[in-house]
Amino acid sequence: MSQIRITHFEPAYRDAIRRLNVEWLEKYFHVEKIDREVLSKPEEVILAPGGEIFYAWYRDEIVGTVSLMKIDDTSFELTKMAVSENFQGLGIGKLLMEYCLDFAIKAGIKQIIIYSNRRLERAVDMYRKFGFKEMDLGPVIYQRADIKMCLDIS
């Protein structure tokens, strides 16, 4: 894990968020209209309103990503989390989650929401290990979402 580092978004690496997310979406579901919008314009949709995009590097390659998308001043959605299939099992998802939560605490974020699908058992289990609790799904923008989880940060 010492060969893995986390960095913030840079325009030169814009395509990585799209590439990594399309990889898993096409494997398990399909790329929805909302995905295409977010992944084709991450600076506009995620960063401009006050969100963040993080990348996980293994040696000199981006192999993972995660974003915090602003809902309001204290609530964010953890979204577009992906780790390349070739690099799964190295703890990269855990490192991305730890980095996100540390960033959220320092930024004064009070609540993080995640929409997922129970089919992604390893991801849902990881969210639970980090303290996310299931809540009412309510209206969703992702067709694939069948679970909504929340972490209150104090």
pLDDT tens readout for residues 60-74: 999 999 999 999 999
CA distance 8 to 56: 9
What confidence score (pLDDT) does residue 142 get? 93
Q: Please report where in the chains the tokens 């605490």 appear, as a residue.
A: 105
Which residues of 17-60 form beta strands (DSSP E)? Answer: 52-58
Smallest CA-to-CA distance from 38 within 74, 75, 65 is with 65
The full length of the chain comes to 154
Contact 70, 113 (CB under 8 A): no
Check pLDDT > 70 for residue 1: no
Q: Is the dihedral of CA 75, 77, 83, 88 positive or negative?
A: positive
User: Mind listing the pLDDT tens digit for each residue in 87-112?
Assistant: 998 999 999 999 999 999 999 999 99
User: Mind listing the pLDDT tens digit for each residue in 16-43?
Assistant: 999 999 999 999 999 999 999 999 999 9
